[in-house]
A = this chain, B = another copy of it.
Amino acid sequence: MKVKIINIGDELLIGQVVNTNAARMSQLLTEAGMEVDSVETIGDDGSAIENTLSNALASADAVLVTGGLGPTKDDITKNVLCRMFDSELVESEVALDNVKRIFAARGYELTPVNRAQALVPRCCKVLNNDLGTAPCMWFERDGRVTVSLPGVPFEMEWLMKNRVIPALREHFNTGTIINKNILVQGIGESFLSDLIEPWETSLPANVKLAYLPVAGMVKLRLTARMQGNADTTDINSLLPGLYALAGKHIVGEDCETMEELVARAMTSRHLTLATAESCTGGAIAQRLTALAGASEYFRGGVVAYSNDVKINMLGVSTDTLAAHGAVSEETVREMAEGARTRLGADYAVATSGVAGPSGGTPEKPVGTVWTAIAGPDGTIAKLLHYGDRRQQTIDRTCNQVLADIVRRVAL
């Protein structure tokens, strides 16, 4: 079955907002075994919406539309849907109860403007939006489906997961899709592909493999399409073959990011972690703490950007800095050990490098990075070489360090 996505919003066409909805929707649909054929982004304009929607419905099984459902001026989408489906706006009891519930919970008075959010085309089915007042509307014609969702990312995501994808699955009788993520780090996509080719070619016909590379790591995604009763045992039974070929590059399973694996590895072992960051400038701490529950294992960190801070806050010796420089094995080891002791953690990681664009020398060109992990069993340092793009060097260093923490404590 083929899906088209239409995202409505003037803010997307002036580049004010990056269209993350498109990526998130595509990801969720792909994981559910539905193929996204195209994504179209258009402005808050009735005739553009009508044209785009008509064209999409001519060639797709399902068209998912986001945006244009706000409480004030931007109810354009609903009116277009009314025209297209020869319907009229009526007050939906389900939608009104939902609006009332949300206003009561927030302690607000229900205004006529907000009550109007419960108006929907008579011919649609309302899929309840537990997180917001804008209704999610499901239309059917000739077996094809049109769904209109609010554009607010967290409402869209909740509705996709809990309402839209289950309903699409039932309507199109797609069978069960099981996904399995495996996080690989420290090997490039093409080398990994060569390495695991014998295993990949031996996969059963109902299982597909995707390579999703991001900043020095590769997420492998296995997608199995099942008919009837299926459980994850089937897909897990395929993994020993993968581990036999690429086991030493595999960091973990069943997650999206390295920081999730770190959180799981540390909390399940009741271990604590600290950071001492120079070239990554706080990015490791920021990624760890972006996940709720980080305080269970993350004690804190030092962003040691200047040498003084390395000396005063982490106890790096002035002699070490004078003899070897800030970007050196000796310094990064002392940073990690200092962080471990002073922040009172079981493990501490440190980074020091030349992120660029300036600061490179013939011996330590831009992209040279030292990392270290200090733990109860000693300190291990590592030298990395990246290119001349600052943000890429920061992102790759983060993924390398996070993977190495997991390897150190969990593998």
> Contact residues of A with B, CB < 8 Å?
11-20, 22-30, 35-43, 48, 52, 154, 210, 212, 214, 274-275, 277, 280-286, 288-290, 292-295, 298-306, 308-309, 312-313, 342-344, 355-358, 389-391, 394
Contacts and interface: CB of A to CB of B under 8 A. Distances in A.
Contact of A14 (B14, B30, B42, B288): B30
Residue in A17, A284, A286, A294 with the greatest tally of chain B CB atoms within 10 Å: A286
Interface residues of A: mostly helix, strand, loop or mixed?
Answer: mixed
B308 A344 contact: yes
6 contacts: A12-B39, A290-B394, A300-B306, A308-B343, A312-B344, A313-B343
Given A41-B41, A282-B282, 19 more contacts: A14-B26, A15-B22, A15-B26, A15-B36, A18-B18, A19-B22, A22-B41, A37-B43, A275-B282, A277-B282, A280-B289, A281-B288, A285-B286, A292-B355, A298-B305, A298-B306, A300-B313, A302-B302, A312-B344
A39 B9 CA distance: 11
Residue in A280, A309, A358 with the greatest tally of chain B CB atoms within 10 Å: A309
Contacts of A210: 14, 16
A18 B27 CA distance: 10
Nearest to A281: B289
A305 to B, nearest CB: 4
Question: Which 8 A-B residue pairs are closest in the complex by CB-CB distance?
Answer: A281-B289, A15-B27, A282-B285, A15-B26, A282-B282, A300-B309, A282-B286, A39-B41
Contacts of A357: 292
Nearest to A275: B303
Given A289-B303, A300-B303, A305-B289, A27 B48 contact: no
A51 to B, nearest CB: 9
A120 B349 CA distance: 49
Contact of A295 (B18, B19, B306, B313): B306
A26 to B, nearest CB: 3
A162 B373 CA distance: 44
Contacts of A292: 355-358, 390
Contacts of A391: 290
A146 B391 CA distance: 31
Contacts of A356: 292
B42 A41 contact: no
Given A38-B13, A343-B309, A286 B294 contact: no
B305 A294 contact: yes
Contacts of A280: 286, 289
A39 B52 CA distance: 11
Contacts of A293: 358
A266 to B, nearest CB: 13
B313 A305 contact: no
A66 to B, nearest CB: 14
A342 B358 contact: no
